[in-house]
Chains A and B, each alone.
Chain A
Amino acid sequence: MAARAMWKGVIQIGSHELPVKLYSAVQDRSVRFRLLDKKDKSPVRQQMVNSETGDPVEPDEIQKAFPIDRNTLVVLEDEDLETIEPEASRDIEITRFVAPEEIDHRWYERAYYLGPDRNSEDYFALAEALEKTGKEGVARWVMRKKPYVGALRADEGYLMLIALRNADEVVASEDLSPPQGRKLDKRELDMAEQLIEAFSGELDLSEFRDTYRDRVKELVETKASGGKVKLKKFKPRVDKDESLEDTLAASLAGLKKRSAGGRG
């Protein structure tokens, strides 16, 4: 089933223009609950009230205010807000191209697919050109009055736009100093490397299922059909007091015993 495009834009690279459609690359499937009135099991409604008097406030009486310090709020009118609203535009402006490793995972906020709007030849040409040069674009666009920065990259022949986090929010690990201590022992480093190698394999994220989601659905079905839910006991883990070297050695020995039995 084809998804609906969330937005349409035009990629601008110098004099090149490429109209595209934007689709979310992710779909949230977490379990959602509704709040219900205990008495009649009807859904509850949210109501905004005046925090001083407790009186209900209707939507047309609600204003927006900005907190300029710990206890001062300044009310802003629509016309104040309009002065700083980013200009509405369909442009996805590519400001530069960079090596992909320069923008790493710590920046990733949310991924979108881009699909061709009208001319698919140009679309696949851009994907191919990105793949051949091994670069990705830094993109800026305004979607629903909100400014975005993203990385435009090719992924298996298709274009992807990854919205990036705000530079103000990202703490770089280069700004932190790693934990210090005595120089690590060569033997332990070697053993740790062997252990990591032994635990290494092909990446296949479909191996991980959200079993919690499954269990909640099961629980709900059990309850809906009048069944009872069993309670489980929790057993705390016990940490043994062994040296790191002994633990590494024992882990490796354990792996060898099981030999080619794959990962645990």
Chain B
Amino acid sequence: MAEAEDDLEQGGSPGPRPFWSGTITFGLVSIPVALYPASRPRRAGMRMVTNEGVPLQRKYVSSETERELEWDDIVRGYEIEKGKFVVVTDEELEAVEPRKSRDIDLRLFVDAGELDPRYFDRGYFLTPAGGSNKAYRLLAAVMEKTGKAGLATFIMRTKEYVIAILAENGILRAETLRFADEVRKPEDVGLPKKKKAPAAEVKKLEKAIKAKTKKVDFSEFLDDSIAQLEAVARKKQKQKKAIVHHEEEAGADEGGEVIDLLEVLSRSLGSAGQRRPAKRAPRKNGGGLSKLSKEELYERAKKKDVPGRSGMTKEELIEALEG
């Protein structure tokens, strides 16, 4: 994206690079923003290798002839009944898009406390872009003061998303939400009808809860399984018991994601306000990126050093690569 290129020209590190940018609109107000994933990339875990430690690659083969297939040999199909497919092309998918737009259409403000955790999917930070600094700060300030969250829809790639926009500490965040028919109700799961609980048991449990009430300790939320894996791997390497494979190509490794998301965000929040919005040519859906597998897209994102790539969905990877 344009911003990343600017930085490269100035000799900075590659980034910040949002994977999507659009414009929040409500009333006649429009606020251009960039989206960044709110989660740091997970450190890479295990890789698959041969007995000699050579990394594996995924290839596609015909299930009939076992012939290896290139991307040009592959089309996308929708299964209408078992084993029966209708081929769907990129152009056709583009044609059914409701409207090609970069608008984040803010439709409704609700009390932030009413949002249901079952709906939350993925989190993003929104940063001001293209001179929107003041409008951005204004929206964040008022949303925070009134305790409101904004519900908005936008289209990324061909898919429509519903997001909740939330303000905290003067910063706007977005959480993609699931659609109502993706969220189950207790009766959908078959939970039994509510029953009156024995008062004595409730009392006992209340007491137990109060006795165990403390402040939250976020270090409890730390999953150290990757660190443990690394410790085992390092020990094996030292003992010279392990098969160790050295890859020739430096920087191609999944662990090499050196960009600190915090730094990327800080820079974007601090400086994006003065930048002019990047002019985008309406792009062709060509390139066939959407046909690639997630792994294949990830490989390409790695080559381009897209920050946050390991936590990205397929759609996000395509956005980041195309942007």
Contact = CB atoms under 8 A, between A and B. Distances in A.
A189 B142 contact: yes
Interface residues of B, number: 181
A156 B193 CA distance: 12
B300 interface: no
Contacts of B58: 46-49
Given A69-B253, A167-B219, A179-B137, 17 more contacts: A23-B189, A38-B75, A64-B48, A66-B229, A96-B217, A125-B202, A135-B209, A137-B209, A164-B221, A168-B222, A169-B40, A171-B38, A176-B262, A193-B145, A200-B148, A212-B160, A221-B80
Interface string B224-243: 01001110111011000011
Interface string A1-19: 1110000000001101000
A26 B128 contact: no
Interface string A240-263: 000010011011101100000001
B148 A125 contact: no
Determine which residue in A16, A37, A40, A252 has the highest number of CB atoms from chain B within 10 A of its CB, and name it.
A37
Chain B interface helix/strand/loop/mixed? mixed
A216 interface: yes
B220 to A, nearest CB: 6
Given A41-B85, A205-B177, A247 B196 contact: no
B255 A115 contact: no
Nearest to B55: A51
A66 B236 CA distance: 11
A229 B64 CA distance: 30
B321 interface: no
Contacts of B92: 219, 223, 229
Nearest to A73: B245
A219 to B, nearest CB: 5
A255 B27 contact: yes
Contact of B233 (A42, A74, A234): A74
Contact of A44 (B63, B179, B212, B252): B63
Given A3-B190, A35-B60, A205 B103 contact: no
Contacts of A126: 205
A172 B173 CA distance: 11
Contact of B214 (A96, A125, A250): A96
A248 B29 contact: yes
Closest 7 CB pairs of A and B: A2-B190, A178-B170, A251-B27, A234-B100, A129-B205, A125-B197, A66-B233
A25 B77 contact: no
Nearest to A94: B212
Interface in B191-226: 191-192, 194-198, 201-202, 204-206, 208-223, 225
7 contacts: A52-B54, A68-B233, A103-B216, A106-B173, A167-B221, A195-B29, A206-B180
A33 B293 CA distance: 11
A171 B125 contact: yes
A40 B57 CA distance: 25
A68 B256 CA distance: 10
Contact of B98 (A13, A35, A192, A212): A212
A181 B87 contact: no
A48 B48 contact: yes
Given A105-B166, A129-B206, A232-B95, A64 B192 contact: no
A23 B38 CA distance: 27
